[in-house]
C-alpha cells in the first residue's frame, strides 16, 4: 500500500457555469411578477364600490323610479341582496306615500293624525 496520489492531469477540468445565476434570475422574475399581481389586485379591489355604496345607489334609483312612476327592479340594484332590496323597496314606497320625514325616519304624527299631504 502506498500513499502516493495519482498524477495530476495536464489540463485543468473545463469550467462549468454556475447554476446560481440562472436560479437568481428566475427568482427575481417570479418576485417581480408576484409583486405586479399584488399591486394590480390591490388597485382593482380598492377601486370597486363597497356594498354600502351599491345599496345607496339602489336607494337613489328606487326613489327616482317612484318619482317617474316606473316599475321593475332598477339595474343599480343588481348587486343588492334579496332581503336588503325588499327593505329598500318598502322604504321607497313609504317615502313616496309621505310616511317619512326629511331624514327618512317614520313620521308617526303624520300617519296617525291623518295630516298626510295627498298627492
pTM of the model: 0.54
- Give the ranges where 48-103 is alpha helix by DSSP (H): 51-67, 82-97
User: Where do the domains of the chain lie?
Assistant: 51-113
Spatial separation of the C-alpha atoms in residues 70 and 54, rounded to whole Å:
20
Residues 6+ apart with CB under 8 A from 85: 58, 73, 77
Spatial separation of the C-alpha atoms in residues 79 and 88, rounded to whole Å:
13
Spatial separation of the C-alpha atoms in residues 93 and 112, rounded to whole Å:
17
pLDDT tens for the chain, residues 1 to 119: 678 877 776 777 677 666 677 888 899 999 999 999 999 999 999 998 888 899 999 988 988 888 888 788 888 888 888 888 898 888 888 877 777 776 666 666 666 665 555 54
Spatial separation of the C-alpha atoms in residues 65 and 69, rounded to whole Å:
6
The per-residue DSSP string of 99-116 comes to -B-TTS-B-HHHHHHT--
Amino acid at each position: 500500500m502506498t500513499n502516493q496520489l495519482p498524477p495530476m492531469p495536464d489540463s485543468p477540468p473545463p469550467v462549468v457555469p454556475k447554476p446560481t445565476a440562472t436560479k437568481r434570475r428566475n427568482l427575481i422574475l417570479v418576485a417581480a411578477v408576484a409583486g405586479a399581481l399584488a399591486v394590480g389586485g390591490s388597485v382593482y379591489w380598492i377601486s370597486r364600490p363597497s356594498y354600502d355604496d351599491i345599496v345607496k345607489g339602489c336607494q337613489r334609483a328606487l326613489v327616482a323610479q317612484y318619482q317617474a312612476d316606473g316599475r321593475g327592479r332598477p339595474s343599480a340594484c343588481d348587486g343588492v341582496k334579496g332581503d336588503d332590496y325588499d327593505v329598500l323597496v318598502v322604504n321607497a314606497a313609504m317615502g313616496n306615500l309621505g310616511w317619512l320625514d326629511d331624514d327618512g325616519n317614520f313620521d308617526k304624527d303624520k300617519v296617525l293624525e291623518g295630516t298626510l299631504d295627498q298627492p
